[in-house]
Structure formats: C-alpha cells, structure tokens
Structure 1
Amino acid sequence: MTQEKGNQTPNTPDFDESELDSMKVDELREKARDLGVDGAADLHKGELVKAVAKAAGRKSRRDGNGGRDKGDGGARGSAESKSVKYAQEITSTDDDPERPGRSLVTTDHDVIREWAEKRDAKPATVPGTEHGDHLGVLRFDFPGYGGQDLRHVEWDEWFGTFDARGLNFIYQEERTDGSQSNFFRLENPDREDA
C-alpha cells in the first residue's frame, strides 16, 4: 500500500508524511526516540510515520508556544468531540479536577499511569482484537472485576499504541459524591464512530 502524498495526520500541518514514509524503519525509530515516542521499537512503519508526525507536530507547536501545547497532555484532534469539548484538560499530575464528578481529558502518560496505579489497574488489551502483531482494543484490568478476559501488556507497548492511534484518555477522578471513580474511555477524536 503506498502512502498518499502530503500530510494525512490531523493537527500536524508542518509535516509531509510522504517524506517520512520514504525513510527506512531504523531511521524512523531513531527519529521517534529523539522525539520521545514511547514504544517506537514495537511499531511498524505506518504506525511509526503517524507517531513521528504527531510527536514532531507537538514539538513544533510547543517550541512556538512557550512550552505549552494542547496536544501535549491535553486533548488531541478537533474540539468538536462533545466528550472533549466539555471535559477539563489535565496536562500534568499536579492538575486537580475543578469539582468531584468532573469529566477530564488528557494524553499525558504520567497522568494516565498515576490514575491507573492508584486503582491497582494494569495496562491490558482484549485478546482476539489484535491486528497482526499490533495490540487490539486497549483496556485496564482492575482487580476484583471479572468478566472479560484481558491480556496484560507493558506500559511502553500500551502507550505506544495509545499514541500511534492518536487517542484521548477521558476519565473521572471521583464521582459527584466524592468516592473514587474507575470511569474511563479512550477516544479517537478524528473518527466519527469513536
């Protein structure tokens, strides 16, 4: 399958994916590592192209925006998603919800990992949903919750897939009554069916 000429990754206006696509996989992996893309060693070429374009776009926006970037910890994609539009963006582990029950959104790995670890949740995937040797549906395995069989994965692999798919992590810290919430949802803001 040949890459379309130009830029196919939303919110990365300064990057031509056809140029990235012409690079060798080793070169892409090195560029991904330089840009801080987690799990680059496990990504295939198409995923690497998208992950490098997104990471380079975030770096470019950050460098031109005093170090802050909506896609660097906050929501990715357009703000048209109702879930993202009405959620409070969290960009670091130091940010607190405005009130109990508040919907939150982030792409920050430290925030997501801290949230999961506070709940003893393990990064996981749903067996049988894989695409070749790529992870399938991403989940967290919470202790004491039976039902669906999940396969635990390493954080680097989970975050590599999360970033390659351009997902947002929509979640709650607490319910409106102040008790801990395990609610989360992964959303691809560039897909209407997400």
Structure 2
Amino acid sequence: MADKPGNQTPNTPDVSESDLREMKVDELREEAREAGVGAVSGMKKEELVKALSEARSGSGGDGSGEGSGSEDDLGAGPDGGKIRRGPESSKSLKYSQEVTSPDEEPEREGRSLVTTHHEVIKEWAEERGGVPATVGGTEHDDHLGVLRFDFGGDDSNLRHVSWDEWFKTFDERQLNFIYQESRTDGNQSTFFRLENPGREDA
C-alpha cells in the first residue's frame, strides 16, 4: 500500500476505479458520504465504486443514487432516530449510547448502542450480510410476526421481507433497536435486540 502514495489521501480526486475496488465496503460508504453521494446504505460495492468515481470527477454527486428507488426514502424514520421511551424501557436502554445519524461512531469498542434511525439499522444489517426477515408462524392476519435479520445461517423458520415491510412493522410496534457495532475485542458484532418500551413481552 505504501507504493501507492497518491491514493492514501481520502480526497484525492484522481483515484482510479481499480484502486477504489481494493477498499472495504464500509470505507467506500464513508468516502461516498463525504463526497456527497446519496443513499449509500443500499449500494453494493460496485455501485459505490461507480458513484464515488463519478462524484470525484464531478459528473455524479447527489444524483448518483437516484436509481435506488425507495432506498432514498428510508431516511431517519418518524422518530428521527430518537429513542422511544415507555413504562417497560429496559435498563440496557439507559446505558446505551443513542445514535441518531449514520455518521455517529461508538464511544468505544463493545459499546451498547440504540437507535430508531432506519438508515442506521439498514446499513448495520447489510454490512453484516443481513436480510430483513420475520419468523415464520408468528404472523397474525396480514401483519408480520417477530422481526429478525437473516445473516445467512441455516434457520429455515426465517422468511425474507422487504425493508419497507420491516420498517413499517418496526415503527407500528414502537420498537427500539439495541445493537453493537463491534465486540470489546474489536471484531464485528451481529448482536442486536428489539425492545418495545411499552410492553414487557416485546
């Protein structure tokens, strides 16, 4: 890496697409945000490379994510990422760091985090290969059942759903998303749980 001096600077305008492809997805997303690219959480690696390349050459920018459809509409959600509180709020809520923007970082490794921000949740799940899902057999009428993410395991009870369906249910149930970015050893964590602060059995 040291023999590519021009590409070590984040804002270098002449970075080639092949150099961008050597970066990790989360690094590309961060670079794309800084370059003003919209809806980066829904983009695959190749889309990020193209959008970032266009943004840096001045031909892309905000319009580069316009093909993402409803991904642009996710945003913060009805509560702006703020914690939902109620009589059954757990103690872990009190000790969790509130995250209200995709740009916020954990205060330390292993920190317990909480948010209702749609883009934060979607980005967290997708960085871990997670797909929005519900537990089969827990649905009632035409409502989704227990909300989960499918991280590619062998759980045959999980039924994939759209992000729109998942977040519609998440908001209707007034849930909080409690999670970790990384474990205390710095490795990526897939820990999360959903809490309804108004109901003990959520």
Per the normalisation by structure 1, the TM-score is 0.62
Is 1:185 equivalent to 2:185 in the alignment?
A: no
* C-alpha displacement of 1:74: 2.4
Q: What do residues 138-161 of structure 1 show as CA deviations (whole Å, max 9, x unaligned)?
A: 000002x22352100000000000
- Alignment-mate amino acid for residue 166 of structure 1: Q
C-alpha displacement of 1:131: 1.1
Counterpart code for 1:185: R
1:133 match = 142
**1:55-74 residue pairs with structure 2 within 5 A?**
55=78, 71-74=79-82
Aligned residue-pair number = 127
Do structure 1's residue 104 and structure 2's residue 109 form an aligned pair?
no
Identity over the aligned pairs, expressed in percent? 67
Which of 148, 153, 171 is 2:161 aligned to? 153
1:24-44 Cα shifts (integer Å, max 9, x gaps): xxxxxxxxxxxxx97xxxxxx
Q: How does 1:163-182 map to 2 (within 5 A)?
A: 163-182=171-190
CA distance in 2, matches of 1:178, 1:100: 6
SS in 2 for 1:105: strand
Q: Indicate which of 93, 101, 112 corresponds to 1:92.
A: 101
Q: Which position in structure 2 is the counterpart of 1:119?
A: 128
Rounded to whole Å, the distance in 1 between the matches of 2:156 and 2:83 is 28
Cα RMSD after superposing both structures: 1.9
* Alpha-carbon distance in structure 2 between the residues aligned to 1:87 and 1:147: 29
- What whole-Å deviation, never above 9, does each CA across 1:6-32 have from its counterpart, x for those lacking one? xxxxxxxxxxxxxxxxxxxxxxxxxxx
Unaligned 5+ runs, structure 2: 1-72
SS in 1 for 2:126: helix
Q: Deviations over 1:116-155 (max 9, x none)?
A: 0101100000111001010000000002x22352100000
The 4+ residue runs of structure 1 with deviation greater than 4 A are none
In structure 1, list runs of 5 or more residues that go unmatched. Answer: 1-36, 39-53, 56-70
Superposed CA deviations along residues 33-86 of structure 1, whole A, max 9, x for unmatched, are xxxx97xxxxxxxxxxxxxxx94xxxxxxxxxxxxxxx4202101384212111
For residues 158-191 of structure 1, give each alpha carbon's deviation from its aligned partner in whole angstroms, at most 9, with x where no partner exists.
Answer: 0000000000000000000000000000000111
